[in-house]
Amino acid sequence: MIDAHLHLWDPQRLSYDWLKHVPSIAGRHGPEEWARRQAEPRQAVFVQADCAPEQTLNEVDWVSGLDRSPLQILGVVAFAPLEEGEAVRPLLRQLKQRPLVCGVRRSVQNEAPGFISSAAHIEGLVASAEEGLSLDLCARDHQLPELIEALDALFAAAPHSRVVLDHLGKPDIAVGKGDIRHSDWAANLEHLAKRPQVFAKLSGLTTQDDWAEGRDEALRPYIDHALTCFGPSRLMYGGDWPVAELARGGLSRWRTLFDIATARLSNAERALIRHETARGFYRLPPV
């Protein structure tokens, strides 16, 4: 099994301003802690953890140099300031010199309206695709219409772009409580899935619900809808650790929910979500 969405951080090495808002997970989280907590998976894709933007290369180098015995990092999705447009290309080429880097992410979940569809941001998306890097997109449910607009422009300029939607577009489960029509999430996800270049991660759902009182049954409709829209060949499992520890039951609860929701699938379909989709999308090396 491959965890397609894993974070690691060390505040003694790098700066993470956002961690001050979540003190319960603000300490170091490295592969040694993962090994103590998890029986599996032992392979993962590291996704940038929003350290200070100027520390992008330092983050990649730190993760690439970690001991791989307890946790094998197969690929790295690095931060890139895509809003710089064409000016981001030199950084992209520096990132490509790091063997583990397979993609980039510029989280837009907290950006103002107009950021995602701005000409400069789209130019940065296009530059990344032209450099052969995949694109992780982290946006909230109310931003999906603007994301759809940006992707139309991206695919017109770079038809062979590879895009994955983190956390299923972050539906507001705490408010929707299982109603997938809330904020037009279901319709927008279906719209995104019509584009064959777009994949999605089954990840990050428990923290979209109420952290303390979230109900397991409220999450199932979102997973089922994603399976209907994308199918196993364009879905991948992500644990979103250690952020997942903010919600009741932490990562172990999410793993249980994931296993239950995918139990009806065939062995071949489960294999796609558990490892094959991620391996193909990120072009991970055989192991």
Distances (CA, A) of 186 to 142, 178, 228, 238: 11, 11, 11, 20
Tens digits of pLDDT across the chain (287 residues): 999 999 999 999 999 999 999 999 999 999 888 888 766 788 999 999 999 999 999 999 999 999 877 889 999 999 999 999 999 999 999 999 999 999 999 999 999 999 999 999 999 999 999 999 999 999 999 999 999 999 999 999 999 999 999 999 999 999 999 999 999 999 999 999 999 999 999 999 999 999 999 999 999 999 999 999 999 999 999 999 999 999 999 999 999 999 999 999 999 999 999 999 999 999 998 76
CA pseudo-torsion sign 35, 165, 118, 187: negative
pLDDT at 41: 87
Q: How far apart are CA 265 and CA 161, in angstroms?
A: 29
Q: How far apart are CA 54 and CA 43, in angstroms?
A: 28
Q: Give 208-248 as a 3 state SS string.
A: HCCCCCCCHHHHHHHHHHHHHHHCHHHEEECCCECHHHHCC
pLDDT at 70: 83
| Nearest C-alpha neighbor of 222 from the set 238, 243, 204 | 204
Rounded to 10°, the helix 119-130/89-96 angle is 30
pLDDT at 69: 78
Q: Find how far residue 224's CA is from the centre of its chain.
A: 19
Decide: 168 and 261 in contact? Cβ < 8 Å: no
Instruction: Name all domains of the chain by residue range, CATH numbers in brackets.
Output: 2-281 (3.20.20.140)
Cis peptide before 242 (omega within 30 of 0): yes
